[in-house]
Amino acid sequence: MSLPVLQSTVTFGGFSFDPLVWSEPLMWLVLAAFLGSAVLHQFETEWARRVAVTGWGLFAAFWLVLTPHFVLTQKSAIEGVGGLAAVPLSLYAGYLLWNGRDSLFVLTRAVGLMGIVYVPFITIDPLRQWLVEVVTDQTAFLLSLVGVDPLVVDGLTHDGIRIATKQYPYESTFWFDHEEGPITYNILLACTGMGSISIFAGGILAVSAPWRRKLRTLAMAVSVIYVLNLFRNVFIAISFGQQRMQWFEGVVMSLFGLSDPRMVSYYVADRILAQTGSVVVLVGITWLLVRELPEITILVEDLLFLVTGTEYDLQSAFDIDGDGTEAAATPSDD
């Protein structure tokens, strides 16, 4: 078994394990099951159903294994709750698909395509390095526009000081001098927006719609997410590097189990404000995509049903006719 992109050993109740080591083989099995189901669905629905249901069971195991990483290592309430909720939701999706909710074949295909977009960036080091360093350079440029000019360094150490939490010697670290010692902010793959981009790319590519409109919608989604993510990086870099969010230090340190009070600004800026804002932004982008690509409502309706147990008719809500096009659309829109 190869080493994961990041090593993150979790110790709880005297038991230690690395969630990312266990999640890696599960990731490949899930991807194989979902993509295999998509291929089989073209020829044999019932076999495709069996493979897809197996994939959803493996997907539940994948999120179950990762949840301790989100909660104990990342100390992210939003990611932790999301990962934990994904376990029963994945099992429920498999149950519904097994019992004949065939619209979930589209969601199954979408998750497989998300993996095709995202997995190369976590498995191909030159590709990951290129993306991380491009985002670092663009974040540095935006910081310079607002008068903030931290040193950008590569390597795992600088001036003989080990850069905390850094796993790869990319030129991806913002170095802020501080009277109590340097503050470093690392741009990771998670800071590139590729995770969100892959989610929307998978959904857009999975639905049945004219390719011209799908590609136009994909270009819009990627552009919006990428640009907003750069501003997110700038916000966190300034807030953390200049210690601008030392709010409720005692409460935040206790809540996240911090030992260095200077980390308060990072956790307030990233784990609380930026991640909460990201959820709001993703909902807004979804609304825009539904207007541009109405066919994607099949995914949104199934996701809403999984979460609420209630059927929603978004086609009527967005004035979309039965074949997945807006009532006011003309052939030239495609």
How crowded is residue 28: how many other Cβ atoms within 10 Å of its Cβ?
14
The active-site residue, picked from 109, 191, 213, 271, is 191
In angstroms, the Cα distances linking 220 to 226, 301, 334 are 10, 22, 15
Query: Has 262 been annotated as catalytic?
Result: no
Query: Has 109 been annotated as catalytic?
Result: no
Task: Strands of the chain (E only): list them.
Answer: 10-12, 15-17, 151-153, 157-158, 161-162, 173-176, 183-186
Q: Mapping DSSP to helix (H, G, I), strand (E, B) and coil, where does residue 128 land?
A: helix
The active-site residue, picked from 49, 128, 213, 232, is 232
Chain centroid offset of residue 177 CA: 31
How crowded is residue 247: how many other Cβ atoms within 10 Å of its Cβ?
12
Would you call 259 exposed, middle or buried from its count of C-beta atoms within 10 A (0-12, 13-18, 19+)?
exposed
φ, ψ (nearest 5 deg) of residue 17: -160, 160
Q: Alpha-carbon distance 72 to 82, whole Å?
A: 14
Q: Mapping DSSP to helix (H, G, I), strand (E, B) and coil, where does residue 326 land?
A: strand
Residue type, 188: L
Q: Of how many residues is the chain composed?
A: 334
End-to-end CA distance of the chain: 46
Side-chain half-sphere CA neighbours of 128 within 13 A: 20
The residues that are catalytic are: 191, 232
